Amino acid sequence: MRVMAQVAMVMNLDKCIGCHTCSVTCKQTWTNRDGVEYVWFNNVETKPGVGYPKRYEDQERWHGGWELDRRGRLRLRAGGRGKRLLSLFANPNLPDLDDYYEPATYDYDTLINAPAGPHVPVIRPKSAITGRDMAITWGANWEDDLGGAPEHAPADPNLAAMVEKVRMEFDKTFMFHLPRICEHCLNPACVAACPSGAMYKREEDGIVLVDQDRCRGWRMCVSSCPYKKVYVNHKTGKAEKCTFCFPRIEAGQPTVCAETCVGRLRYIGLILYDADAVLDAARVADPRDLLEAQRRVFLDPDDPEVAAAARADGISEDWIEAARRSPIYRLAMRYRVALPLHPEYRTLPMVWYIPPLSPVLDAVTGMGADADDPDNVFHAITDLRIPLEYLASLFSAGDTGVVAGVLMKLSAMRSYMRARTLDGSVASDLLESAGMTAQDMEEMYRLLAVAKYDERYVVPAAHREDAAALSAQVDGCSLDGDGGPGMSGFHPAGVTGRRGDGRVGLKLFVGRGGAA
Amino acid sequence: MSVALWVVVPYIALTVFVVGHVWRWRVDQFGWTTRTTQVLESRLLRLGSPLFHLGAFAAIGGHVLGLLVPKSLTEAVGVDEHLYHLVSVSAGTVAGLMVVAGLGLLLARRFTSPRVRRTTTRADRVLFTVLAAVILLGMTATVGKNLLGGGYDYRATIAVWFRGVLTFRPDPGLMADVPLIFQLHALSAWALAAIWPFTRLVHVWSAPIAYLWRPYVVYRRRTPLGVRR
Ligand code: HEM
Ligand code: SF4
Ligand code: SF4
* Fold entry, domain B2-213: Fumarate Reductase Cytochrome B subunit (1.20.950)
Least confidently predicted of A385-389, A439-443, A509-513, B90-94: A509-513
- Give the count of beta carbons closer than 10 Å to the beta carbon of residue B171: 15
**Residue A49, min C-alpha distance to chain B (Å):** 23
Q: Is the pLDDT higher at A473 or at A3?
A: A3
Find out whether A229 and A349 touch, Cβ atoms under 8 Å: no
User: What's the pTM value of the predicted model, to 2 decimals?
Assistant: 0.90
Question: Rounded to whole angstroms, how far apart are CA atoms A180 and A200?
Answer: 20
CA B10 to chain centroid: 15
Angle between helices A385-395 and A374-383 (to 10 degrees): 70
As a dihedral over the C-alpha atoms of residue B55, residue B59, residue B65, residue B67, rounded to 10 degrees, the angle is: -170
As a dihedral over the C-alpha atoms of residue A383, residue A388, residue A390, residue A392, rounded to 10 degrees, the angle is: -140
Instruction: Please tell me what DSSP assigns to residue A13.
Output: G
Backbone Cα Rg of chain B: 20
CA of A485 to the centre of ligand 3 (A): 15
Cβ contacts of B109 on chain A, cutoff 8 Å: none
- Give the count of beta carbons closer than 10 Å to the beta carbon of residue B217: 21
Q: Tell me: the pLDDT tens digits for A208-234? A: 999 999 999 999 999 999 999 999 999
Give all strands (DSSP E) within A256-314, no chain letters: 266-274, 298-299
H helix or E strand, kind and range, residue A220: helix A220-224
Q: Is the pLDDT higher at B191 or at A152?
A: B191
Angle between helices B122-140 and B81-112 (to 10 degrees): 150
CA dihedral over A288, A290, A295, A296, signed as positive or negative? positive
Question: Rounded to whole angstroms, how far apart are CA atoms A65 and A69?
Answer: 13
Question: Rounded to whole angstroms, how far apart are CA atoms B95 and A413?
Answer: 70
* Section B34-46 average pLDDT: 96
- Answer whether B217 sits within 8 Å of A480, measured CB to CB: no
Phi first, then psi: give them for residue A16, nearest 5 degrees. Answer: -80, 125
Q: Is the pLDDT higher at A482 or at B95?
A: B95
**Percentage of chain B modeled with pLDDT above 90:** 78
Q: Tell me: the pLDDT tens digits for B49-73? A: 999 999 999 999 999 999 999 888 8
Find out whether B186 and B158 touch, Cβ atoms under 8 Å: yes
CA of B86 to the centre of ligand 1 (A): 29
- Answer whether B214 sits within 8 Å of A197, measured CB to CB: yes
Phi first, then psi: give them for residue A202, nearest 5 degrees. Answer: -75, 130
A161 CB-side CA count, 13 A: 18
Question: Rounded to whole angstroms, how far apart are CA atoms B183 and B175?
Answer: 8
Q: Is the pLDDT higher at A513 or at A277?
A: A277
The interface predicted TM-score (ipTM) is 0.90
Task: Please name the residue of chain A whose CA is at the shortest distance from the CA of residue B212.
Answer: A81
Give all strands (DSSP E) within A155-245, no chain letters: 176-180, 199-202, 208-210, 230-233, 238-241
| Ligand 2 pocket residue status of A190, Cβ below 6 Å | yes
Residue A171 has pLDDT above 90, yes or no: no
Taking the domains of chain A in order of start, what are their residue ranges?
464-509
Predicted confidence at residue B53, as pLDDT, reads: 98
Q: Tell me: the pLDDT tens digits for B95-145? A: 999 999 999 999 999 999 999 999 999 999 999 999 999 999 999 998 888
* Section A421-433 average pLDDT: 90
Q: Which of B39, B200, B225 sits opposite A234 (nearest CB)?
A: B39
